[in-house]
Amino acid sequence: MTQRQPSDQEDSDGGLNWPRITGLSFVFAVHAAALLLLLAPVSPPGQEKTDEEVTRVVIIEPPPPPPPPPPPPPEPPKPQEIKQLAPPQASPIPPPPEEPPVVFDEPSPVDVQAPPPAPPAPPAPQPDIGASVDISSKNMNPPQYPRDEMRRGITGTVILVITVDASGNATDVQVESSSGNRNLDRSAVKAARNWRFNPGVTGGRKVGGRVRVPVEFKL
């Protein structure tokens, strides 16, 4: 190790060495100036001029319009049309004056009113009609032939007298003439009670009546 030898001045004065401090300060200043020069840019800011972008505008004028076409040549004069004059028309002849109407004191046959038509004749009175049996109803409900009489071949005719009301219903059935067999008579009466009848007509109104109906049993 090296040991610092105290200088004679320090030993003699016992204080600061001013010449040495001044030299060190100068050295520091020189180094600081050199460092600033190294850090500083080569050219100061603001000296370089930036190139500005310049846009050139060229205005192109439109071409002039084409010249108008020449006017058409004038048409030749047309010959004057000759107007045809209508032939003179004869002035209408005024109608002759109307004659005054002739007034007749006596009425004409046209003025005489015809008499009103006569009222229609009343309808002729309907004749009185007696009651009758409905053939379709009779055919739909025929009397049944008794088995014993059919087997034995017994025949006969029964004449019935039937009382009918205004509605066409049979209210009473009587045997006016017997067939000679009781079973045949009973079968005819039973069938007649189920028949329909046409009521009688008197003065245009339906009325009841009596009907005579023959019932025949034959093989």
Q: What is the CATH number of the domain that holds 144?
A: 3.30.1150.10
Which stretches of the chain drop beneath a pLDDT of 70?
1-16, 40-55, 57-58, 76-92, 96, 100-114, 123-126
Number of folded domains in the chain?
1
Count the Cβ atoms, other than its own, within 10 Å of residue 175: 17
What pLDDT does residue 6 have?
Answer: 47
Average pLDDT, the chain: 77
**Could you tell me if 168 and 209 are in contact, meaning their C-beta atoms sit under 8 angstroms apart?**
no
Reported as a single tens digit per residue, the pLDDT across 160-180 is: 999 999 998 999 999 999 999
Report if residue 175 sits inside a domain: yes
Report if residue 1 sits inside a domain: no
> What CA–CA distance (Å, rounded) separates 217 from 145?
7
Token duo for residue 142: 């025929």
Q: How many residues appear in the chain?
A: 219
Report if residue 160 sits inside a domain: yes
Domain span at residue 158? 132-217
Report if residue 59 sits inside a domain: no
Report if residue 65 sits inside a domain: no
What pLDDT does residue 92 have?
Answer: 67
pTM of the full predicted structure? 0.43
Report if residue 182 sits inside a domain: yes
29 φ, ψ to 5°?
-65, -40
Reported as a single tens digit per residue, the pLDDT across 24-46 is: 888 888 878 877 777 765 555 55
Report if residue 186 sits inside a domain: yes
Report if residue 127 sits inside a domain: no
Provide the β-strand partners of residue 33.
none
What pLDDT does residue 109 have?
Answer: 56
